[in-house]
């Protein structure tokens, strides 16, 4: 996350609040660092900065392969074309808290620590919940996510839900692919979903070399038990003779409690992600326009010290091939 920037109004240093400006700044910065270490957003989204209010994301189809031409043969011309395009509009996010003169005059240090702490907790919780709301809605095959009374486009660049049974190709109209699967989690389902992702093709039907390496799950006891049993032992837990488990030691597991809020009751979805593909091609994209900017002023009406925070960021889905989902209603059954 970019650094927090501060602006302190003139005259505050000479006011009753003057001694508390720098300590509150340092406290806000330290809280920001703590939350950044815990956040899963940087793992699940391709995060970047932008200077644009609207960004267009697109890709090119693969080139045709090399051709045998014989001795002294001429060079064949290969070609590419633009693939699907996705636009991302920036959103502005704001909040504020205030410290009364009475709190400072009466030495209420609890208020001076609690409110800045809650302020930063609120900011990072909002970011984490926003990201989780996009994934939660996508797991229901939705094209829009509802968050804080607004709707956000979460379709993949091809115009269908991020997790779909029918992703179309912009070149080969007969090529339709799925990354939404109905299978509940098991060692076999994990292996089949991994194989399916490894077979994902580009718009011209070329194998892309997708290699999933990360399992993402909500904070669900039964699901955590199944996942860690499947990948946490070198022996197959379902085998009476303790056969070797080829899944052992091959996966990073991310448990995302924020996802629970945005899932249907009793749902136990699980995601596979190719972290490298996601970062290189932008499957889930998060763009920072303005880092959190905090300014400290004196309120003209009640003489309180008001701390206002403003940020601009946005997120969406783009290239679906970096993820697949299992355990969701309406998905294709792997067998």
pLDDT in tens, 208-264: 999 999 999 999 999 999 999 999 766 555 555 555 666 767 899 999 999 999 999
- Whether pLDDT at 10 is above 80: no
d(CA 246, CA 195): 13
State the average pLDDT over residues 198-217: 94
- Whether pLDDT at 142 is above 80: yes
Task: Identify whether the C-beta of residue 145 lies closer than 8 Å to the C-beta of residue 71.
Answer: no
Position 15 confidence tier, pLDDT thresholds 50, 70, 90: confident
The residue with greater pLDDT, 316 or 25, is 316
pLDDT in tens, 31-83: 887 888 889 999 999 999 999 999 998 776 766 777 788 888 888 877 667 78
Looking at the chain, the whole-number percentage of residues with pLDDT higher than 70 is 91
Which range (64-78, 116-130, 135-149, 207-221) has the least confidence?
A: 64-78
Both tokens assigned to 169: 């190709």
State the average pLDDT over residues 291-304: 89
d(CA 96, CA 295): 9
Q: What is the pLDDT of residue 157?
A: 95
SS (H, E, C) the chain: CCCCEEEECCCCCCCCCHHHHHHHHHHHHHHHHHHHHHCCHHHHCEEEECCCCEEEEEEECCCCCCCCCCCCCCCCCCCCCEEEEEEEECEEEEEEEEECHHHHHCCCHHHHHHHHHHHHHHHHHHHHHHHHHHHHHHCCCCCEEEECCEEEECECCCCCECCCCCEECCCCCCCEECCEECCCCCHHHHHHHHHHHHCCECCCCCECCCCCCEEEECCCHHHHHHHHHHHCCCECCCCCCCCECCCCCCCEEEECHHHHHHCCCCCCCEEEECHHHHHHHCCEEEEEEEEEEEEEEECCCCCCEEEEEEEEEEEEECCHHHEEEECCCCCECCC
d(CA 209, CA 197): 9
Q: What is the pLDDT of residue 61?
A: 73
CATH number of 5-54+85-326: 3.90.1690
- Whether pLDDT at 324 is above 90: yes
Q: What is the pLDDT of residue 1?
A: 45
Position 88 confidence tier, pLDDT thresholds 50, 70, 90: very high
Map tokens 């269908």 to a residue: 160
State the average pLDDT over residues 136-144: 98
Both tokens assigned to 229: 């049993």
Q: What is the pLDDT of residue 237?
A: 56
Going from N- to C-terminal start, the domains of the chain cover 5-54+85-326
Give the closest residue to 319 by CA, choosing from 83, 140, 136, 151: 83
**Cβ partners under 8 Å of residue 277, min gap 6:** 208, 210, 211, 283, 321, 322
Q: What is the pLDDT of residue 243?
A: 54
Distances (CA, A) of 77 to 69, 80, 204, 221, 310: 12, 10, 16, 56, 51
Q: What is the pLDDT of residue 300?
A: 82
What average pLDDT is seen over the chain? 89
Question: Counting every residue, how long is the chain?
Answer: 335
Q: What is the pLDDT of residue 80?
A: 63
Q: Which residues pair with 57 in a beta bridge?
A: 86
pLDDT in tens, 168-190: 999 988 999 999 999 999 999 99
């Amino acid at each position: 996350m970019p650094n927090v920037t501060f602006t302190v109004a003139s005259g505050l240093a000479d006011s009753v609040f003057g001694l508390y400006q720098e300590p509150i700044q340092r406290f806000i910065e330290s809280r920001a660092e703590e939350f950044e270490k815990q956040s899963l957003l940087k793992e699940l989204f391709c995060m970047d900065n932008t200077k644009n209010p609207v960004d267009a994301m697109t890709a090119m189809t693969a080139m045709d392969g090399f051709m045998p031409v014989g001795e002294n043969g001429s060079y064949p011309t290969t070609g590419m074309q633009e693939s699907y395009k996705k636009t991302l509009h920036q959103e502005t996010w704001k909040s504020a808290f205030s410290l009364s003169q009475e709190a400072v005059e009466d030495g209420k240090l609890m208020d001076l620590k609690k409110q800045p702490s809650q302020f930063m907790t609120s900011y990072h919780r909002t970011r984490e919940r926003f990201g989780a709301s996009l994934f939660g809605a996508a797991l229901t095959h939705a094209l829009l996510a509802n968050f804080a009374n607004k709707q956000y486009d979460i379709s993949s660049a091809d115009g269908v839900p991020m997790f779909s049974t029918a992703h179309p190709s912009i070149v080969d109209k007969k090529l339709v692919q799925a990354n939404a699967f109905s299978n509940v989690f098991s060692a076999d389902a994990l292996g089949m979903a991994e194989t399916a992702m490894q077979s994902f093709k580009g718009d011209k039907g070329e194998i892309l070399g997708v290699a999933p390496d990360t399992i993402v799950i909500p904070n669900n006891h039964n699901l955590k038990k199944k996942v860690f049993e499947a990948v946490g032992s070198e022996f197959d837990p379902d085998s009476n003779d303790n056969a070797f488990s080829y899944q052992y030691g091959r996966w990073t597991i991310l448990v995302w409690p924020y996802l629970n809020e945005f899932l249907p009751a009793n749902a136990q979805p699980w995601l596979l992600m190719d972290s490298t593909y996601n970062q290189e091609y932008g499957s889930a994209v998060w763009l920072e326009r303005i880092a959190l900017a905090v300014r400290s002023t004196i309120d003209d009406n009640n003489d309180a010290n008001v701390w206002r925070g403003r940020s601009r960021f946005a997120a969406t889905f783009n290239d679906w091939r970096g993820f697949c989902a299992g355990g969701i209603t309406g998905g294709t059954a792997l067998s």
